[in-house]
């Protein structure tokens, strides 16, 4: 799964705020470089937030080197791409009288407004894995509020956001919560998901390697539906589901209120057998007919 | 009458899984009398019984069992001989330990007969079944093979461990005639490599001409077998290690061998008997066995190609 595959999401679409998950640094850079390059090619102003090395020079960051594209390097010189390192960002947010999260939202809104005022047709923002511990519920909630700021901006301007998640630098809580917050659009290793037309459309393979991440996204999708309504999962383009991920579905369904269902549209045939083996609860419903 | 072999220790407790025993008997009536108590006990406990003997042998059992003989399956030896050894328990669906008695392997003097016995020991090891193989003690070759390939002996005095048993190798090199030629090997160093494992197994299954649903089941079983071999529990990714997939194909079956070798000191997941993953994967193949090794686990999964 590559983060730049498929059409560029429409402005205002919830899919315009995506999470790119990678297992290693190389994969993260390849995906991000392709996404940034495409946004630049479409004429977007790009804001990049990340970590710099000890010397604090953006010229030493990978995006300015051979792992970035030529267009990216030119954009750094021309100002189409602006880089802001995390310590500076945190410092500015901390200085904000309204508090850290509100300060972050204000900085993001100012960047967006400035780019549009300069005449850029669209804006793109991407940020590297934040390496936050998310040690308690309060920190998790603040993280969710901060990410929600992107959703607000996406809803009001031609903005596209790519959040990068490096699974090898973040702890399990961070990975799980990050998937939950971004469940509307995730591009992971071997699978992806997009919330479209009220359905949670999954593609690829769901296996033990990504089970915790899938579990995080599933929890996020169910949390969004917590006020009611069923979760419709379109599995038409899912090729494989193993015991670990099937078990997650079963456990999630059992934990939901009785009145709520998880509706699986066109699951792979082996998943049906697997769910039967795992004693599928009645709240998991299977609907056929969409698979071409 | 040829004397009983130097019988080993008396039965010190029958195994929970497969009980694979040789019965050295050249007289059908004597054989029927010797095995009768086990047949009746199996039927009484709700197990299924299948006796695969020629007409003379089958009649001896019918005579000794009386009405209970109607509850026993008596297929012809020719029918069973065409079934791969690892699938000869198919259809024995009792509610308790089942019993299979026959001399199909004994009647095959070639190497396939011996390999058939080894296949039963290796591939049906976890089956709650009793397999009694009848050999003629007057035939030196048959007698030697019976003693070499059976962990148990059913003698006049009852069940005994066989001191002459030579277990087949559960480690490489695996006899080609037993599990087929290796057609693909693949290192699986971590969870990210599981997708490549599935692709490789799927490609072999396609080339073997398996119908799609059976091929998908083989892929799932192989994937779960690797996780089981690595010691991962149901909530964990494949831990890094020197894990290897080996796929073997015979005309009758596709066998995936997953050898898990986690780094030394790694805490392994639950034992296979307690691991729900093992129970699940067995629903998607014909046979699965687990062998504990010094530095890890070997999980074999067998699925018939027909």
- CATH architecture of the domain with range B19-161: 3-Layer(aba) Sandwich (3.40)
Residues A180 and A217 in one domain: no
Q: What is the DSSP string of A269-285?
A: HHHHHHHHHTT--TTEE
Domain count, chain A: 2
Q: What is the CATH number of the domain that holds A199?
A: 3.30.750.24
Residue with the bigger pLDDT between A221 and B115: it is A221
Domain range for A135 is 1-189
Contact (CB, 8 A) for B115 and B123: no
Residues A98 and A14 in one domain: yes
Residues A184 and A196 in one domain: no
Which residues of chain B have a CB within 8 Å of the CB of A209?
191-192, 194-195, 237-238
Minimal Cα–Cα distance from A10 to chain B, Å?
32
Residues A101 and A153 in one domain: yes
User: Considering only CA atoms, which of B52, B47, B46, B6 is closest in space to residue B31?
Assistant: B52
Q: Which of A140, A164, A189 is the last residue of a domain?
A: A189
Q: Which of A161, A189, A217 is the last residue of a domain?
A: A189
Angle at B190 between CA B185 and CA B193, to 5 degrees: 55
The predicted-structure confidence for A66-116, as pLDDT tens digits, reads as follows 999 999 999 999 999 999 999 999 999 888 888 889 999 999 999 999 999
Residues A278 and A138 in one domain: no
State the Cα–Cα distance between residues A267 and A279, nearest whole angstrom: 16
**Which structure tokens are listed for A273?**
């057998």
Exposed / middle / buried, residue B188 (Cβ in 10 Å: 0-12, 13-18, 19+):
buried
Residues A108 and A223 in one domain: no
State the Cα–Cα distance between residues A258 and A273, nearest whole angstrom: 23
Fold for domain B176-304? Heat Shock Protein 90 (3.30.565)
The predicted-structure confidence for A135-189, as pLDDT tens digits, reads as follows 899 999 999 999 999 999 999 999 999 999 999 999 999 999 999 999 999 999 8
Residues A114 and A154 in one domain: yes
User: Considering only CA atoms, which of B294, B296, B297, B299 is closest in space to residue B278?
Assistant: B299
Whether A274 has its CB under 8 Å from any CB of chain B: the answer is: yes
Residues A184 and A206 in one domain: no
On the CB side of A2, how many CA atoms lie within 13 Å of its CA?
14
Helix, strand, coil in percent for chain A, rounding step 5: 45, 25, 30
Q: Which of A209, A247, A268 sits opposite B234 (nearest CB)?
A: A247
The answer to whether B224 contacts A211, with C-beta atoms less than 8 Å apart, is no
Residues A259 and A223 in one domain: yes
- Name the 3-class secondary structure at A96: coil
State the Cα–Cα distance between residues B106 and B142, nearest whole angstrom: 7
Residues of chain B with CATH 3.40.50: 19-161
Residues A18 and A162 in one domain: yes
Q: Which of A23, A270, A278 sits opposite B220 (nearest CB)?
A: A270
The predicted-structure confidence for B53-79, as pLDDT tens digits, reads as follows 999 999 999 999 999 999 999 999 988
Find out whether the peptide bond into B173 is cis, omega within 30 degrees of 0.
Answer: yes
The answer to whether B232 contacts A208, with C-beta atoms less than 8 Å apart, is yes
The predicted-structure confidence for B205-244, as pLDDT tens digits, reads as follows 999 899 999 999 999 999 999 999 998 888 889 999 999 9
Which residues of chain A have a CB within 8 Å of the CB of B238?
208-209
Helices (H), chain A: 25-41, 70-78, 86-95, 100-117, 137-156, 172-181, 211-224, 243-255, 269-277
Exposed / middle / buried, residue A68 (Cβ in 10 Å: 0-12, 13-18, 19+):
buried
Contact (CB, 8 A) for B74 and B51: yes
On the CB side of B169, how many CA atoms lie within 13 Å of its CA?
9
User: Considering only CA atoms, which of A258, A236, A254, A245 is closest in space to residue A218?
Assistant: A245
- The gap between the terminal CA atoms of chain B, to the nearest Å, is 43
A36: which DSSP letter?
Answer: H
Residues A164 and A198 in one domain: no
Which residues of chain A have a CB within 8 Å of the CB of B224?
242-243
pLDDT at B117: 84
Residue B22 bridge partners (DSSP)? B133, B153
pLDDT at B244: 93
Average pLDDT, chain B: 85
Question: How crowded is residue B145: how many other Cβ atoms within 10 Å of its Cβ?
Answer: 20
The predicted-structure confidence for B107-147, as pLDDT tens digits, reads as follows 887 767 777 888 788 777 778 899 999 999 999 989 999 99
Residues of chain B with CATH 3.30.565.10: 176-304
The answer to whether B280 contacts A278, with C-beta atoms less than 8 Å apart, is yes
Average pLDDT, chain A: 93
pLDDT at A7: 85
Q: Which of A139, A166, A189 is the last residue of a domain?
A: A189
State the Cα–Cα distance between residues A186 and A202, nearest whole angstrom: 9
The sign of the dihedral angle between the CA atoms of B244, A22, A136, A225 is negative
Angle at A271 between CA A270 and CA A272, to 5 degrees: 90
């Amino acid at each position: 799964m590559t983060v730049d595959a498929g059409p560029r999401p429409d402005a205002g679409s919830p899919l315009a705020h995506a999470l790119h998950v990678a297992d290693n640094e190389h994969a993260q850079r390849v995906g991000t470089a392709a996404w940034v390059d495409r946004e630049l090619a479409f004429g977007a102003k790009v804001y990049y937030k990340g970590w710099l090395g000890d010397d604090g020079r953006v010229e030493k960051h990978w995006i300015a080197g051979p792992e970035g594209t030529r267009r990216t390097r030119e954009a750094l010189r021309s100002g189409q791409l602006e880089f802001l390192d995390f310590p500076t960002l945190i410092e500015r947010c901390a200085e904000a009288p309204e508090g850290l999260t509100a300060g972050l939202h204000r900085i993001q809104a100012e960047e967006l407004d400035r780019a549009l005022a300069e005449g850029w047709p669209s804006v793109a923002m991407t940020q590297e894995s934040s390496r936050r511990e998310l040690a308690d519920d309060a920190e998790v909630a603040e993280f969710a509020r901060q990410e929600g700021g992107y959703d607000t901006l996406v809803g009001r301007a031609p903005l596209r956001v790519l959040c990068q998640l490096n699974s090898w630098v973040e702890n399990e809580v961070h990975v799980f919560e990050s998937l939950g917050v971004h469940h509307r659009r995730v591009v992971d290793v071997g699978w992806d998901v997009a919330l479209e037309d009220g359905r949670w459309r999954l593609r690829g393979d769901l296996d033990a390697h990504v089970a915790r991440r899938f579990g995080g996204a599933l929890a996020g999708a169910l949390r969004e539906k917590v006020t009611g309504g069923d979760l419709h999962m379109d599995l038409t383009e899912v090729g494989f589901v193993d015991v670990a991920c099937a078990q997650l579905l079963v456990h999630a369904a059992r934990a939901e209120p009785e009145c709520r269902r998880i509706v699986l549209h066109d699951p792979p045939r082996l998943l049906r057998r697997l769910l039967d083996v795992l004693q599928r609860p009645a709240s998991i419903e299977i609907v056929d007919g969409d698979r071409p | 009458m040829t004397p009983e072999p130097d019988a080993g220790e008396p039965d010190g407790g029958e195994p929970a899984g497969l009980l694979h025993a040789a019965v050295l008997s050249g007289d059908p009536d004597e054989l029927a009398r010797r095995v009768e108590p086990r047949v009746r006990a199996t039927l009484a406990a709700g197990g299924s019984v299948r006796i695969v003997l020629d007409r003379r042998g089958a009649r001896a059992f019918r005579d000794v069992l009386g009405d209970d003989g109607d509850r026993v399956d008596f297929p012809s030896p020719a029918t069973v001989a065409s079934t791969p050894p690892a699938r000869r328990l198919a259809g024995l669906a009792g509610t308790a330990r089942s019993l299979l008695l026959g001399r199909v392997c004994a009647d095959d003097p070639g190497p396939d007969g011996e390999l058939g016995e080894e296949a039963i020991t290796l591939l049906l090891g976890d089956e709650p079944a009793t397999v009694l193989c009848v050999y003629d003690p007057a035939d030196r070759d048959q007698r030697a093979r019976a003693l070499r390939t059976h962990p148990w002996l059913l003698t006049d005095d009852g069940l005994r461990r066989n001191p002459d048993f030579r277990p087949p190798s559960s480690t490489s090199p695996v006899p080609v005639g037993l599990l087929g030629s290796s057609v693909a090997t693949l290192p699986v160093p971590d969870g990210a490599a599981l997708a490549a494992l599935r692709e490789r197994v799927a490609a072999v299954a396609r080339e073997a001409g398996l119908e799609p649903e059976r091929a998908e089941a083989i892929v799932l079983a192989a994937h779960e077998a690797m996780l089981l071999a690595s010691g991962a529990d149901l909530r964990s990714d494949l831990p890094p290690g020197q894990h290897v997939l080996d796929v073997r194909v015979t005309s009758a079956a596709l066998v995936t061998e997953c050898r898990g070798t986690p780094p030394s000191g790694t805490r392994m997941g639950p034992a296979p008997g307690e691991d729900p993953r093992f129970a699940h994967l067995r629903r998607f193949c014909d046979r699965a066995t687990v062998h504990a090794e010094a530095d890890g686990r070997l999980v074999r999964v067998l699925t018939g190609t027909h």
